[in-house]
Structures are given as structure tokens and as C-alpha cells.
Structure 1
Amino acid sequence: IFVSPKQTIPYLGPIYGGLREGVSIYIQGSVPEDITRFFVNLLCGEAESSDIALHFNPRFDGWDKVVFNSCQNGSWESEEKIRSMPFSKGEAFEMVIVVTSQGYQIRVNGNDFHTFEHRMPVERVRAMQIAGDVSIQTINVIGGGYPGGDMGVNNCFLLFTSPVPYSNMIPGGMFPKRTIIIRGMVPYGADRMSINFMVSRSRDIAFHMNPRVREGMVVRNSMIGGNWGQEERELSLNPFMEGQYFDVSPYNKKKKTGNSCMSIRCGNQRFKVFVNGQHLFDFFHRLQSFNEIDVLEIEGDVQISYIHF
């Protein structure tokens, strides 16, 4: 289930299909320089007065900490205070809430932070509330689903700072109108990386996308029958910069400061690549049977946090 960006704060919205073990909530946002506090609540109903299964509350009050709690029948229960702050003033963040059998596992910017053990059945959770000093760009519920939905657990998965080089099968292969979503970050000191769409049977690389950070270009090519084709280098802009997150996604259409937002979409004749809603380049198919593409490989100087097929 994808909640369209950008979210107005305070935010209160349903979690269609509810939560269960294995479901993850991905939140992308930023906090202002003058932040004092914000919170994320998982509610057992769609009203603010509903019981709260998880209360996640970062506080910048001179004794920086994150408070966890729950609330039942209008009464707050015992607080858990983590005297560590995973957020930085004035900076963007990626946060993931993973529902495990033990509790809610919280990860921020790819790092484990804390697991808040279940105090009430996770099946009761029906909505999410976010308020305070925070700006939210994207909310994704991964592994959920609802009648008629097409973003269920069978066609997506989540990775947390996945090791690079990365290689995995593309479930169902590539076909017209299919879009691959990748989120990650270009670390400081990065030189180059590559994103390859491959055929497992022949090891042909149907589409090789090679951002070269220091050169400020994105090279495109293919390797068929063991031979590299002609490089394509013309480009109006380069979305891959040191220390910045990138978002290979068709859902974030608006440009955001400090983030790159891109979609890779397969068509009958070409791969179409957009950045922040603007066309970056087309790469015409050089492999006749592009529907044989069934492997995604990522190599080089990059940190990967999320992939959706």
C-alpha cells in the first residue's frame, strides 16, 4: 500500500488491512533545525482517542531521548526512554517500523534503534498518526494489502542497508509498464556504482546504468554475448551526489531539496528514466526478448535500503 506524498502534518490515516508479523512501515521525512519533538502513533482505531499500541516520541529538550509508550482506555502505561537520538536537526531521515513476533523493531537511516515489545495484539492496529515538528514526504506500508490492491507482500520486499554487491531474481521478470523502486544513499567519497538488468540464462546485461559520481555523469550501455555495446553519455543532469539519498520511485513526483527521486519503467521499446518528475533519459531495448530479463544486480559505492518489484 503506498500513501501518496506529501503528507500534511498532523496526519491521521488508516492502515488498510491492518498489521501482522512481517509487515513494515517505511517513513521518509525530515526534521527542522528548531525541532523540539514529534511522535508517531499506531492506533487501534481511526480516531485520536483510540488505544495506542505504539507511541514513538523523539524529544530534543536538552536531554535528547526517544520515549516509547502505549495507551489503553485513556491511560498511559509505563514509558521506555532511550537516551540516544537517531535524528539530526535540519536533516532528512528514513525510518522503518518492522512488525516482528516480539514487537515493533525500529530502524532509522538503516541502523537498528530499539524494539518496543508488544503490549496489545498487533491485529488491533488500524491507523497511524504523526504530529509535531516533522515533515513527511512518503509513507509506505509494505506487506499489507486490501481487496483490489496490487502492492501486497507477494510483489515487494524491503531491505535494510542491503550488502553491495546485491543480486536477486526479479519475480515474474520484466514486462511492459513494470517499474522497479530502489531507495538508497550515495556515501561520501563515492566514485561510481552500477544498476544492471540481466538475463540469468545468458548473463547478458540488457540495461547497464552506471552513475559516475566524480565525473558527474550517468553512463548507459548493454553487454550482449560477452561484448559491450556503445555507451550513451548525454545527460542534462546528474541526480547522484555524495551524501544524498536517492529514490528510484514513480510515486514521488515533486522535487525535494537534498533528495533525488527517480523512476525506471520498462516499456515495449525502451526503459524510461525520470528524475523528480523530469525526463532524464530513455534507453532503447537492444535485447529483442527483453521479457527474459529476470535479475537485478547493484554494485559499487552505494548503500541500498529498499527495493520494490
Structure 2
Amino acid sequence: MAFVPAPGYQPAYNPPLPYVAPVMGGLRPGMAICVQGLVLPHADRFQVNLASGPEDEADLALHLNPRFGAEGQVVLNSRSGGQWGPEQRRDLQALVPGTLFEIIVTVTPQDYRILVNSRPLDDFPHRLPPERVAAVTVDGDLELHSVTVLGAGDMPQTIPYQGNLPVMEQPPTLHPPVPFIATIPGGLIPKKTIVVKGFIPPDAERFHINLRAGPGGDVLLHLNPRPGEGLVVRNSLVGGTWGAEELDLPHNPLQRGRYFDVSIRCGNRRFKVFAEGQPLCDFAHRLPPGPHADTLEVDGDVVLSYVHF
């Protein structure tokens, strides 16, 4: 059961450095880039680039360059035709050697809005059209855990899509508060995917991701990680009655003190759940004749990075 990302959602997990991710069709407002990793304990610097191509000499729409040691700043810049523009410098804030980090860059019509560990770092105005961005590149003194390009924007119809999966056209909801409740436009129809990404605090006991048939309705999938017990419980609540719990897993990456990435895809007979792009479990539909999930709920001991569908 290999995980195939839906168009508009391009993840990579634990890639080697230097890393280059293609951006099909360029960037457009509503899209976002998420980079997660660990700053190496004796880090000097690393960089995240939004580039016009994979080449070292490519133009850079955004060069995000944390520098540790004596400088102790994040340098933001652009490069066009081999010439660097004026720098913007900001404090490192939560970027600390030896610790985990998350950088989210959101594309707006005017600029790139940059968040580091949920806190605003800076806005960087467009000096090159974002549509020219053809690659995200990452390198330097870090352990790279994931890079994800989110959203299809108003991608031209000439751009080929993978397979026949529905496009994830909605912009991601970034850093929503918990509890989180949202309506899934059109419901979670077969082959459609939702993604929940976040952080499990070191003292977390449990949280849950529910797919409901309307607000307050039947729970078609109750995905209940319990890091305090080392379990991921799956169940349903139909007609006010809980069904039989399912517990078996091939592995459990949903652990305390870690970022997580859960993708749930609706099949004709079951929900397919993936974590970090690897199969986690299947959950057979218990409410015939099929799924009617149109409400997503997330609550408990969790910090959300984004929700995307």
C-alpha cells in the first residue's frame, strides 16, 4: 500500500542533503512551503531557497539563511542575474542549535510570510515573480526531517497531475487552535486525502482526529494516538455506541516530543491512514453503504502545524 501524494500536496520525508524539491507550475498565492528538521548542535548556518531551478547559480526569489555563532541572525535576501539584493536581518528567535524547528513560508500576492515555530519571523516582498520558482532547495548544518509544498494555487491546467486523485485545491490552514473543527468541502469522497501535521508535546497523554458525518454526528473514524500508553486506537461511534477498538500497528511513529504527519485517504471500503508517508493502518467503513465524512475534528494534547484537504 504505497502512499501517492495527491496533486497540490508534495511531501518528502528524511531526504538527504543537499535537497532539491521541484515545484510544478511555480508558486502562487495560497500555497505554502513547510520545512522541519533539527539544527545540528554545532551548527554554523543553513539555508532554504526558493529558486528558479535546481542549479547552484539559479535566481533566488527567497534566500532564508539562519547564521549561528557570532552573527546570530537570520538573513533574508534574493538573487537575480548573479546579483544579490539588499538584506533583511532578524533575530534567530526559536532557531537554536540542537533543537527541532519548523519553518513555514506562505505565499501572498505581495510577499512571503515566514513563520518559525509558529511565531512570525518577517515578511519578504516579491522581488521576482513567485511563478518563476521551480525548486525548493535546502542545505547546511541541519538534519532535514521533511519538506512539503502545499496547495495547487491556480495552477495551469496544462500541468500534469499524478494519477486520478482529486486535487488538494484548498489553501492549508496554518497553526489552527485546538480544538479544531472544520467542514470538508464536498465530504471525504473516495480517493480524497486530508493531511494533519503537528507536534506532540513531551508530556502528551492523548489526542484524537475524528471524521464525523456532520457536526455532532456519527464518528466514522476515531484515530486516537495515546503517546502515554504507546498506542494508536481506532474506533467508530455509530448511533451513540462505540464499536470494537483496533490496536495493531506495524510501527508507531506518533511519539512524544516529535513532529508528526498523518494522511487519511478515503477508499471505497476503508480509510487508509499513513504517517510520514508510510502505511500506518486501514480502517474498514462500518457505516454502510459508504463514508459520509464531512467534518474534521482534532483535539487533545497536540499542537497543529497545518491541516490540508
Match of 2:176 among 162, 167, 170: 162
* TM-score normalised by the chain length of structure 2: 0.82
Which residue is 2:68 aligned to? 60
Which residue is 1:308 aligned to? 308
> In 1, distance between residues paired with 2:268 and 2:280?
18
- Aligned pair in 2 of structure 1 residues 13, 244: CA closer, same or farther (>3 Å)? closer
Match of 1:141 among 123, 144, 149: 149
Give the alignment's Cα RMSD to 1 decimal: 2.8
Which residue is 1:173 aligned to? 187
Which residue is 1:284 aligned to? 284
Contact 1:86 / 1:113 at 8 angstroms: preserved in 2? Answer: no
Contact 1:155 / 1:171 at 8 angstroms: preserved in 2? Answer: no
Match of 1:116 among 103, 119, 124: 124
Q: By how many angstroms is 1:153 displaced? A: 7.0
* TM-score normalised by the chain length of structure 1: 0.82
Q: By how many angstroms is 1:9 displaced? A: 2.2
- Aligned pair in 2 of structure 1 residues 137, 213: CA closer, same or farther (>3 Å)? closer
Task: Give the partner amino acid of 2:270.
Answer: R
- Aligned pair in 2 of structure 1 residues 199, 102: CA closer, same or farther (>3 Å)? same
Q: By how many angstroms is 1:20 displaced? A: 2.3
Match of 1:33 among 38, 41, 45: 41
| SS of residue matched to 2:174 | coil
Would you say 1:87 and 2:117 are equivalent positions?
Answer: no
Larger displacement relative to structure 2 (48-57 or 276-285):
276-285
Contact 2:237 / 2:243 at 8 angstroms: preserved in 1? Answer: yes
- Aligned pair in 2 of structure 1 residues 173, 130: CA closer, same or farther (>3 Å)? same
| SS of residue matched to 1:291 | coil
Q: Deviation per CA, 1:226-252, whole angstroms, max 9, x where unpaired?
A: 222333445576543322211114xxx
Task: Give the partner amino acid of 1:149.
Answer: Y
- Aligned pair in 2 of structure 1 residues 234, 12: CA closer, same or farther (>3 Å)? closer
Task: Give the partner amino acid of 1:298.
Answer: V
> In 2, distance between residues paired with 1:85 and 1:280?
35
Which residue is 1:187 aligned to? 201
> In 2, distance between residues paired with 1:202 and 1:14?
41
Contact 1:156 / 1:307 at 8 angstroms: preserved in 2? Answer: no
Q: Deviation per CA, 1:239-289, whole angstroms, max 9, x where unpaired?
A: 43322211114xxxxxxxxxxxxxx34333333445567764443322113
| SS of residue matched to 1:290 | coil
- Aligned pair in 2 of structure 1 residues 203, 16: CA closer, same or farther (>3 Å)? same
Structure 2: runs of 5+ lacking an equivalent: 1-7
Which residue is 1:255 aligned to? none
Structure 1: runs of 5+ lacking an equivalent: 250-263
Would you say 1:226 and 2:235 are equivalent positions?
Answer: no
Would you say 1:200 and 2:214 are equivalent positions?
Answer: yes
Which residue is 2:140 aligned to? 132
- Aligned pair in 2 of structure 1 residues 174, 290: CA closer, same or farther (>3 Å)? farther
Q: Any residues of structure 2 matched to 1:6-45 within 5 Å, and which? A: 6-45=14-53
> In 2, distance between residues paired with 1:56 and 1:285?
45
Which residue is 1:101 aligned to? 109
Q: By how many angstroms is 1:203 displaced? A: 0.7
Would you say 1:270 and 2:283 are equivalent positions?
Answer: no
Contact 1:142 / 1:156 at 8 angstroms: preserved in 2? Answer: no
| SS of residue matched to 1:292 | coil
Would you say 1:210 and 2:218 are equivalent positions?
Answer: no
Task: Give the partner amino acid of 2:160.
Answer: G
Larger displacement relative to structure 2 (182-191 or 172-181):
172-181
Larger displacement relative to structure 2 (103-112 or 272-281):
272-281
Q: Deviation per CA, 1:108-138, whole angstroms, max 9, x where unpaired?
A: 2222211112233333333333222233343
> In 1, distance between residues paired with 2:60 and 2:202?
39
Contact 1:64 / 1:85 at 8 angstroms: preserved in 2? Answer: no
Q: By how many angstroms is 1:89 displaced? A: 1.9
- Aligned pair in 2 of structure 1 residues 213, 49: CA closer, same or farther (>3 Å)? closer
Task: Give the partner amino acid of 1:300.
Answer: G
Paired residues, number = 295
Contact 1:161 / 1:305 at 8 angstroms: preserved in 2? Answer: yes
> In 2, distance between residues paired with 1:13 and 1:192?
34
